[in-house]
A and B are shown apart, each in its own frame.
Chain A
Amino acid sequence: MAAVSIDRVHKSYGSVGVLHGVSLEIDDGEFVVLVGPSGCGKSTLLRMIAGLEAINAGDIRIGDRVVNNVAPKDRDIAMVFQNYALYPHMSVSSNMGFSMELRRFAKSMIDSAVGRAAATLGLGELLQRRPRELSGGQRQRVAMGRAIVRQPQVFLFDEPLSNLDAKLRVQMRTEIKALHQELKTTAVYVTHDQVEAMTMADRIVVMHGGIMQQVGPPLEVYDRPANKFVAGFIGSPAMNFFDGVVAANGAGRYVAMGGDVRLPIPDNSRAEVGRRVTYGVRPESIRIDADDAGSVPASVEVIEPTGLSTLVYSKVADALVCTFTMERPDLERGQPIRLAPDLARVHVFDADSGERL
């Protein structure tokens, strides 16, 4: 096991910049998830840690060693690919034991290592099969097993669950997390799925446009997004945003929207009067039909019951607002309601820079 240190790393393909000076310290044994929309540079960064992409500038260290010019095979890492990349002409056990075979381990040692990994992953019955005889979930497990047998310093995952169906994805998510808690090997995990990022990570790295937007524990990133991008990307259903200008009256500051709607701002916000801002509030931080002074008028558009909860979409001025509630409100389309944002959970971002105020 080892720490991974990424120091001002740049990457570009010709004139197209992909990563613009990314720095990140990953602790020994930590599970870090790189998350962001496609094209944000997360996979490129992972492939640079693996040694599959050259580094244009900056350093990557695994343990104490700068690995910029170290071949992938000498980096002591294991990687799980999105498409599994199992060797089709080898049996499951050969697939899993391949890395040890290349290192000329004795057959008995390989067999016992493969056997242990197979037992952990429930692959015992399948060891003699070929990859083409396996289901998607089983192939995924074999790819995991191959990584475990390697006993690497660092696990690298490149969207390993993207090709699975929704139910299996949730199951494997839990299994990977449990496995990490057992093995305690440093892991870097790339995904575009923010739920995966939230549920699995010790720390989340939100990336966008080749720049790290925010690094932190999942709940910190969720509760205090550093900018509008992070706020909109993390969380499902997504945060509601309203554009407006900060104004004040006797009761305090508020964001004035069209249609004379006034959204109250918390006292600790740095948004000064006159600034153009984006007002953000998560669906679960809005209460319906509240009597308090800060509530704004709205009219119900769509109601989506999920059984566990209800999503209510309503119109405030011209903006569509999503509200999440664990209750089952008795509402119908067109009905006027009042919405009250929870002041402690309101986020204000600069309209131009998107930075948190």
Chain B
Amino acid sequence: MVGHYGALALYVLFALFPLYWLLKISVTPNSLLYTEGITMWPSVTTWENYRFVLLQSDFPAFFKNSVIVSLGTAAIVTVLAAATGYAFSRFQFTGKTLVMFVLLLTQMFPLVMLIAPIFRLMVPLGLTDNLTGLIVVYVAFNTPFAAFLMQSFFDGIPRELEEAAMIDGCTRLTALRRVILPLTLPGMGATLGFVFTAAWSELLFALMLINSTDAMTFPVGLLTFVSKFSVDFGQMMAAGVLALVPACLFFAFIQRYLIQGLTAGAVKG
């Protein structure tokens, strides 16, 4: 027991220490950043960095863009993935294996390889330098994995539940709406959260497809704190902490569902 907890504590410390450092620097006054040396907590703390980031920088705009892109992506992907996953889980159809193989295939290439062709495709479509373009790309890249994720959630729901509903008087669609969907909500929540987080932190495409400050998402925006001659660490870290908030909220919201296991009691055991 002591060994287990010791190992876990060590891991948690290792994983969370950078976050702690982020928090620490975000509240350290700029004047102390280099003068105090390495300390675990600054002698004086300040909210000045947060004030600047929220009131005087473009960060609120970046934040808003990120929320639009991430929520949009998450919502679209979840709906698409749920429909795909349901079909994969419940139906046998010609070409199913091929479709699944192709979906897997898309996950195999490093994104870097695809940046140039995607950029070439997006320019004539007018999808560069705006949020719609980002959402399109994110949806395309997140749907396959999310579809497999949703499939596993649907697989976890016994077929008999649908059959019982269909005997009770449902059509397949009513059964889906009245019985399957309520039970898949945790799965859809998880998918939503997963895709949201992925879109929230995506940098590569955002960097390549977005030029103007108006359309920047916050990962790109963070880089604006790096100027030619200096890096404004305090402000950058403050922005970073603020950017963590939605992701944390989302996970707090989802993990409740993930652990709960709503289907308990449906069938034996």
Contact = CB atoms under 8 A, between A and B. Distances in A.
Contact of B183 (A51, A79, A89): A89
B161 interface: yes
A71 B163 contact: no
Given A85-B160, A87-B161, A88-B263, A150 B168 contact: yes
Contact of B158 (A75, A85, A133): A85
Nearest to A132: B265
B265 A85 contact: no
A163 B158 CA distance: 15
Main secondary structure of the interface of A (DSSP, over half): loop
Contacts of A222: none
Interface string A77-111: 11101111111110000000011001100000000
B182 A89 contact: yes
A320 to B, nearest CB: 36
Interface in B157-207: 158, 160-161, 163-171, 174, 179, 182-183
B261 to A, nearest CB: 9
B266 A73 contact: no
Given A102-B168, A150-B168, A79 B265 contact: no
A79 B268 contact: no
A228 B170 CA distance: 44
Contacts of B161: 85, 87
Given A83-B158, A102-B174, A71 B268 contact: no
Contact of B265 (A52, A73, A133): A133
A163 B183 contact: no
A81 B183 contact: no
B168 A73 contact: yes
A88 B265 contact: yes
Interface string A196-209: 00000000000000
Given A81-B163, A87-B161, A132 B264 contact: yes
B114 interface: no
A132 B174 CA distance: 23
Contacts of B182: 89
A136 B266 CA distance: 11
B267 interface: yes
Contacts of B76: none
Give the bracket for the number of chain B residues in contact with chain A.
Answer: 20 to 34
A42 interface: no
A146 B160 CA distance: 14
A36 interface: no
B262 interface: yes
A71 B166 contact: yes
Nearest to A129: B265
A322 B169 CA distance: 51
A85 B160 CA distance: 6
A102, A103, A131 pick with most chain B CB within 10 angstroms: A102
A123 to B, nearest CB: 15
Nearest to B166: A72
Contacts of B158: 83, 85
A246 interface: no
B163 A146 contact: no
Given A102-B168, A150-B168, A85 B163 contact: yes
Contacts of A102: 168-170, 174
Nearest to B268: A163
Among B160, B174, B179, max chain A CB count under 10 A is at B160
A73 B264 contact: no
A134 interface: yes
A98 B264 CA distance: 19
Interface string A179-211: 000000000000000000000000000000000
Given A79-B164, A81-B164, A89-B183, A71 B171 contact: yes
A52 B166 contact: yes
A40 interface: no
Nearest to B175: A73
Contact of B160 (A71, A73, A81, A89): A81
Nearest to B157: A88
B267 A79 contact: no
Nearest to B181: A89
A163 B266 CA distance: 13
Nearest to B185: A89
B175 to A, nearest CB: 9
Nearest to B169: A102
Nearest to B265: A132
B187 to A, nearest CB: 13
Contacts of B171: 71, 73
Contacts of B174: 102
A48 interface: no
A88 B264 contact: yes
Given A88-B262, A89-B262, A73 B167 contact: yes
Contacts of B183: 88-89
Interface string B251-263: 0000000000011
Contacts of B264: 88, 132
Contacts of A98: 165, 168-169
A333 to B, nearest CB: 42
B164 to A, nearest CB: 4
B267 A84 contact: yes
- Enumerate the 6 nearest inter-chain pairs by beta-carbon distance, A residue then B residue, closest first: A132-B265, A83-B267, A102-B169, A85-B160, A131-B265, A99-B168
Interface of A: 50-52, 71-73, 75, 77-79, 81-89, 98-99, 102-103, 130-134, 136, 139, 146, 150, 163
12 contacts: A72-B163, A78-B167, A82-B160, A83-B267, A83-B268, A85-B163, A87-B179, A98-B165, A102-B170, A131-B266, A139-B268, A150-B168
Interface of B: 158, 160-161, 163-171, 174, 179, 182-183, 262-268
